Structure 1
């Protein structure tokens, strides 16, 4: 056989002619990926009587292969579709979708209303099916369903022979048309071109991608907002807690100083001369203990503040170690330089003792002469004793007063020292916590920047993909639509191809 003869056979082949028609308009477009099987597919909704109709057709048309949906392999399409609905139920939208799937690549479609032997109103159901298909077409369904032929059958009647003559006649008529093979190929090309056009247009419109882009932008804005808000909240919380700590620790230090002042005042009130040397050492040790207690309380409180803010207490502890505890300078109590006061008190004591002695001597004046001398001696001793007692008591009271003033001055110095200690510790802790908070903010800022960079990369990828899809649509869609218009014209269906694509949106 010559090459010319091969070309003639190719031209005469209806499938090849259709492929050549499409390739002339849209070269390079992928052909329909289906394999045509010379068979009649009988399908329909559940309980519509599909199997009965298929069995009767196989008996009445032995020269025709009759199959059901499960008999077709993936990628196989039939030469004709018989769509069966029951006269007992109304056609639904899901039934229309089933018809779309079954007849996507097939031009020959026959509608069948089954069980007409038991449902006398089958003609009304047939008209209703036509109306429902018309509504489905108006909602974007296949316009070719308007020309679908409908017949009534009784494939498995309760009495009598099956009534399928009209179906057999209609099916034989349509399968006997010499143009069936070409029209079926045109239907396959129509479905393929429309699917490709829908896919390209959908990719360019990128509705799903737009939703993802919107979500990514919202996530990006939320990351930025959270970063600003969290940073401000942490700074405000730190300042607030430091201010509260400054007030609370100042009150704690003053209260501790007042407590030790009362304690030392009680000791002074019961002071004796024997305890005077020990009291000075005790006071200095007690003041040092108070400073240590205040320092420990401040450190503990500031550590708790750090933990409340989610920061480590190590910075607070380190800042406290760099500062030495203040020393409270108390000086010496003025107990020794009291010579003039002692002389004055001695003089007063002598006068008081002399007065006591004279008063007592008058009691012995009228006694016997022998007792007068003894009474005078006794009065003298009593006067001297009173004088010594008055001088000693006055000296002790004076020492207590001096010690009390000294304790007041020492606790005043202590108050100033612990106030300075609290202020320095709070300032140092604030600096340390601020530095640690700044490091944490930098870390979170870097983490947020990485997150934003990842979102920006994905947004850029979506933008690039959208641009590529738009370029593909601008380059390929017009060609596909022209090819689709020619295919529809060959099928005898009017209307622009872009309207068919828009109808699927």
Structure 2
């Protein structure tokens, strides 16, 4: 920029070629705030089908997220053929992290047409943020200063007092050097690195203690939930078996133990699925976002729980013989009551005795049979209750065994993940300590360089002030 001021000529307007979008309008607004001001104009519209005159200076805006098209190549070729001084700007670098690749590709494409070109990366949004926050470093990163200097160089300057512009540039340079000195002496960067080192030292185990504690808590919670699920399923199965036994007929009693065994196998498969889903959730919680997912647990091939051998045959006891006697007595009594009206007829009195015997025998058989069926159902219900107690113990052992195996596997995964994280943290800690040592070693040299630069800038400001004073006296 200072070299461009030595020409002393009048500035020419710079024609801006590029898309008319929000980014380009914001870039023009930010350039308008820079001094000396560069006049940016839109391309002339051709009239009467005649080609427009080539501008002496041009700004070619390229998109940081796109490639150079044929229209841009034709335009650059036309401007280069007419010896137009061109400045290329890659706009929108804040939104495209891969802008360096785009810059290299654009330079390779434009090189055969315009020769060796320099493409200035720029972001008007970063420039606006730097102006709001008064951050000189962010302003340099935005590329606005470099683009403005390039435009001033191709356009010349219309400032009638170049020494004033020189003073502005030197003053801005002195402010940046003083900010750098203040940052070096304040130790802000060193404090940030020390804080980062303290965080890395606090987590030198890679977070293993926290991960193991979380794993134990999750497994204990899973154990409680799964055992509660086993108890609830067994209670529901017990209630269903009682209702089903009460509906069984005499012929279906023998088939019920097989049905209960099949129901227990189905219940075990369902509980295995519930446990697998719960362990999969724990495995997903162990995996950090930046690591590979933990491999799922292999399905265990365990024998299903068994309800045990079927119920033993019910042995007849004193109660059964008593029920036979009571049933016969009740039957003969009811039979006698039924045939009592026949005794009033002399001709039918002899037939009352066989009828009484038949009715008494039938009623006695029904009472004994019904009592036997009730006793068989009670015997089967008691067997089912005892069998389900055994099944519950087997299912609880099955769940506990699976959780113990999962804990061993998850512990290995936690150790593997935290070891890798601890190694990475150790490397990062070594880098931070190296940066701290390098910063302590380079700080005196940097401060001395800043002091020398401030001396040079102060001398230049003094000389420039003397030139301004001589110009005033001559005027």
Pairing partner for 2:426 from 444, 449, 455: 449
Determine the structure 1 residue equivalent to 2:323.
345
Q: Tell me the equivalent position of 1:393.
A: 370
Matches within 5 A, 1:160-179: none
Q: Which residue of 1 aligns with 2:200?
A: 223
Alignment match, 1:268: 245
Report the counterpart of residue 335 of structure 1 in structure 2: 313
Structure 1 residue 388 displacement after superposition: 0.6
Residue 360 of structure 1: aligned partner: 338
Q: Distance in 2 between matches of 1:344 and 1:292?
A: 47
CA contact (8 A) 2:264 2:307 kept: no
Q: Cα distance, 1:203 vs. partner?
A: 11
- Tell me the equivalent position of 2:234: 257
- In the alignment, the residues of structure 2 paired with residue 231 and residue 283 of structure 1 have an alpha-carbon distance, to the nearest angstrom, of 47
> Match of 1:276, SS?
coil
TM-score norm. by structure 1 comes to 0.50
Tell me, yes or no, if the aligned pair for 1:328 and 1:414 is still in contact at 8 Å. Answer: yes
Query: Where does residue 379 of structure 1 map in the other structure?
Result: 356
Contact 2:208 2:414 (8 Å CA) reproduced: no
- CA shift at 1:353, angstroms? 1.8
Q: Which runs of 5+ in 1 are unaligned?
A: 1-39, 48-83, 86-93, 103-135, 141-198, 482-505
Alpha-carbon separation, structure 2, partners of 1:46 and 1:100:
9
Pairing 1:409–2:367 present: no
Q: Deviations over 1:296-349 (max 9, x none)?
A: 21122221222233375645x23x52x624533433324332255443332222
2:404 aligned to which of 410, 427, 433:
427
* Unmatched tracts of structure 2, length 5 or more: 1-5, 9-34, 38-159, 456-475
How far did residue 210 of structure 1 move?
4.9
Structure 1 residue 425 displacement after superposition: 2.1
Q: Distance in 1 between matches of 2:193 and 2:306?
A: 63
Kept in 2, the 8 Å contact 1:357–1:383? The answer is yes
Superposition RMSD in Å: 4.3
| Alignment CA distance shift 1:288-1:41 (3 Å) | closer
Name the SS for the 1:273 alignment partner.
coil
- Preserved CA contact (<8 Å) 1:269 1:400: yes
TM-score normalized by the length of structure 2: 0.52
The superposition leaves residues 173-206 of structure 1 with CA deviations (integer Å, 9 ceiling, x where unpaired) of xxxxxxxxxxxxxxxxxxxxxxxxxx9xx99999
Structure 1 residue corresponding to 2:220, chosen from 233, 243, 268: 243
CA distance in 2, matches of 1:205, 1:99: 22
Tell me if structure 1 keeps the 8 A contact 2:311–2:383. yes
Alignment size in residue pairs: 297
